[in-house]
Structure 1
């Protein structure tokens, strides 16, 4: 083995948490390198969060334009130019890549483009994208290798060359009929977007409801919203096989309690979960263990089973959100400096970027019941929020769970315009352990969507007399 170049810290993968850590450590004077196989800055700015929300926004503009007459604007027929939608997205990605390259340059961290694998503890061999190899050793290693889309083991599905979210965001046409396999967050967001671009869309979900992690009322409301826009749903439906090729003609054979049926389509999108990028990178040579799902085994400090090796983000089994990867970065950063931060008890929000969006933080009703937690539940239809009288955005509802014994807010769900922003205000109250009456009685600006919090919390039932004594 040739002589290795030595670094203080090596980071395998340039996702959100990894790149932030690299820039921080390099600015602190440590010799730091990041090895990235393909996407400068990771998947979020290139093929995931930002590009998907970019195209979802284009779909929203198309939807608003097609309904402009309802607001008094007469603009004739509406047609989407998908090549321009893609160009707008690519222009944004180019800006993001330039930003990241500049951030590496300013921080002093070295970005190495190539495929890395462990050949010994804390030693990585990199097959450079431009040819040749480099051998890198370090005092400490951070793994930030992410996940990729799972392709279900369905006969002939792989041969049909289905789209993942990556390829779906590169289409320069709207499929005549798009079949989406999976009713999770990615599948539902893209189903609505492509319906608004003009595609016929059918979502096939093996479970009894879409958005399986959400309460039934939230999932049902999202389904009704998309049904009203023309998206078709087949739940409790198993795909038996796929014939043809996505982009040309595909036939999906599926089975439900009603029997077997065939769905003729032009394109097929797989949105059936994620698989960690942990195979083929030599983890066994570095003493790094995986759990039974293939994720890197870590403790609450994000330390792996190998000394001085850490893992960040999705590959470590963290919730699959960019904002969680950012918090993972903070945990590792502080612990490398001698801190004692961990992942336990952190309050992780999430948002489904449909239009209107679905946002949630804390416990939902199903989780509270599973944990044996008694909670008071209050709901408010968005039509009762005065802001919607002006905007016409009356779909959805707010829901809150309140502790029975001390008036803490345990959880909040909102399906409605600006749901993510309103949810964040509730999250701050939860972090401060603020009793709900204080939020209920706050003077909130009129006319805002957040103003609905006062009416929602006014619907909370009082404590029982025994608790109140």
Structure 2
């Protein structure tokens, strides 16, 4: 219900209030504050949001340590004798913590330099464009903005499985803070987080089992992508329990844990020492007074927005994950550009934008545009070009020949409809193709380009030279 103000209670006015300091929110704050606007950011815990603190960058830091460990394990392949080596997880963790501390300091410097005010506390709406902020010391402030942006993000979903919450499972946050190597890590979910961390901890020395309810990993991707991921897991010794539904969890993660499951119609028990839940995300939209602000939610609990990221309440916007935008930091950054342009009187929308992604397994899986499943579902005719990564000679110098590249080309215009790569440097290779797609270039522009030898990008010449004729 709407809070009433006491007599004499002051309300501090701002041009813009941002609830949450994640990617989209912080860039809005820094940009508009530098323009002379009175900007307030309310952040509950993580300065800069999840990406620099507990998600994107910390996980890639840990994953890179695991990559270094894999080089030690393969050292004889490179002519380097390997003796007994050990992995000190507390040092791995501390390297990550040091990076995070530096990133937080960088963010604080940007707040100071921009003039935006950062308030550490929990905010909730108590009226239209009006929030009460409870600071960490227990005191409160009431603030009102000409405009308010909600950027509260998401958190790891904990499925409603009997005994799961009581087993105190890890999420990605706790997994990145481990100072010892799990003896046997059970990973619930075969998506981005599950696959990345499963491979990392396997390389650190854990026995790892991925438990996935679908029949294949990364089930929304094409079947050749899933098959390549299956083969990667097999070769690295990661156990897979596919078509597996969890009925109950027992024990306590970090000590001993059991999963009662049904796999392909048969009941069984899977046992491990640690349990990691990586089964999706839930929006942080509860308990912040959205009903008082007249901000409506979707049936999945995300904030309802239009193509300009305006909510159902005048003067209130939403940015990033909580707005139902694709859950990528680079998309949240583009949300910032959408909102800042609209606040400045320039029309900009989210409709039709490209959504590239990269999953940082080793090798990387990256895609932009359509895959084959999507093209077929939409009835879009295409020509398929596909080559093994080994055709790209740079991979042979690196001993990193696993994987493939493929592209979908329009049958009439010769424009690139989509590109997928499962291979070393996949994210960087994809970026080059995406730029060509943004420019509307035909595939022949890459086929006929003069690219440096030997580089990974040179493989694009071979790929697009294999496009079949109409």
Report if TM-score (shorter chain) is over 0.5.
Answer: yes
Between the aligned partners of 1:429 and 1:246, the Cα distance in structure 2 is: 47
Pair 1:294 & 2:298 matched: no
Pair 1:354 & 2:361 matched: yes
Pair 1:435 & 2:436 matched: no
Measured after TM superposition, the shift of residue 287 of structure 1 is: 0.8
1:37-436 to 2 correspondences below 5 Å:
37-257=44-264, 259-436=266-443
Between the aligned partners of 2:97 and 2:468, the Cα distance in structure 1 is: 50
Between the aligned partners of 2:416 and 2:432, the Cα distance in structure 1 is: 12
Between the aligned partners of 2:162 and 2:114, the Cα distance in structure 1 is: 49
Indicate the residue corresponding to 1:10 in structure 2.
Answer: 17
Between the aligned partners of 2:215 and 2:457, the Cα distance in structure 1 is: 32
CA contact (8 A) 1:182 1:205 kept: yes
Measured after TM superposition, the shift of residue 219 of structure 1 is: 1.6
Between the aligned partners of 1:232 and 1:136, the Cα distance in structure 2 is: 52
Specify every segment of 5 or more residues in structure 1 that has no aligned partner in the other structure, as ranges.
Answer: 464-469
SS in 1 for 2:457: coil
Measured after TM superposition, the shift of residue 227 of structure 1 is: 1.5
Between the aligned partners of 1:294 and 1:389, the Cα distance in structure 2 is: 48
What is the root-mean-square deviation in Å for CA atoms of aligned residues?
A: 0.7
SS in 2 for 1:451: helix
Between the aligned partners of 2:227 and 2:348, the Cα distance in structure 1 is: 38
Between the aligned partners of 1:257 and 1:65, the Cα distance in structure 2 is: 38
SS in 2 for 1:415: strand
Q: TM-score, normalised by structure 1?
A: 0.98
SS in 2 for 1:389: helix
Q: TM-score, normalised by structure 2?
A: 0.98
Between the aligned partners of 2:402 and 2:396, the Cα distance in structure 1 is: 11
Between the aligned partners of 1:421 and 1:194, the Cα distance in structure 2 is: 25
Between the aligned partners of 1:386 and 1:339, the Cα distance in structure 2 is: 47
Between the aligned partners of 2:137 and 2:51, the Cα distance in structure 1 is: 24
Deviating above 2 A after TM superposition, structure 1's stretches of 4 or more consecutive aligned residues are none
> What do residues 285-313 of structure 1 show as CA deviations (whole Å, max 9, x unaligned)?
00100011000000000000000111000
CA contact (8 A) 1:116 1:126 kept: yes
SS in 2 for 1:21: helix
Indicate the residue corresponding to 1:467 in structure 2.
Answer: none
SS in 2 for 1:74: coil
Between the aligned partners of 1:248 and 1:177, the Cα distance in structure 2 is: 10
SS in 2 for 1:269: strand
Pair 1:446 & 2:469 matched: no
Measured after TM superposition, the shift of residue 258 of structure 1 is: 5.4
For these two proteins, the number of residue pairs brought into alignment is: 463
Report the more deviating stretch, 209-218 or 315-324: 209-218
Between the aligned partners of 1:195 and 1:268, the Cα distance in structure 2 is: 14
Between the aligned partners of 1:15 and 1:223, the Cα distance in structure 2 is: 34
CA contact (8 A) 1:244 1:251 kept: yes
SS in 1 for 2:456: coil
CA contact (8 A) 1:62 1:78 kept: no
> What do residues 223-270 of structure 1 show as CA deviations (whole Å, max 9, x unaligned)?
211210000111111011110000000011111115111111000000
Measured after TM superposition, the shift of residue 130 of structure 1 is: 2.2
> What do residues 197-242 of structure 1 show as CA deviations (whole Å, max 9, x unaligned)?
1000000000111112211111210121121000011111101111
Specify every segment of 5 or more residues in structure 2 that has no aligned partner in the other structure, as ranges.
Answer: none
Between the aligned partners of 1:77 and 1:362, the Cα distance in structure 2 is: 45
CA contact (8 A) 1:66 1:77 kept: no
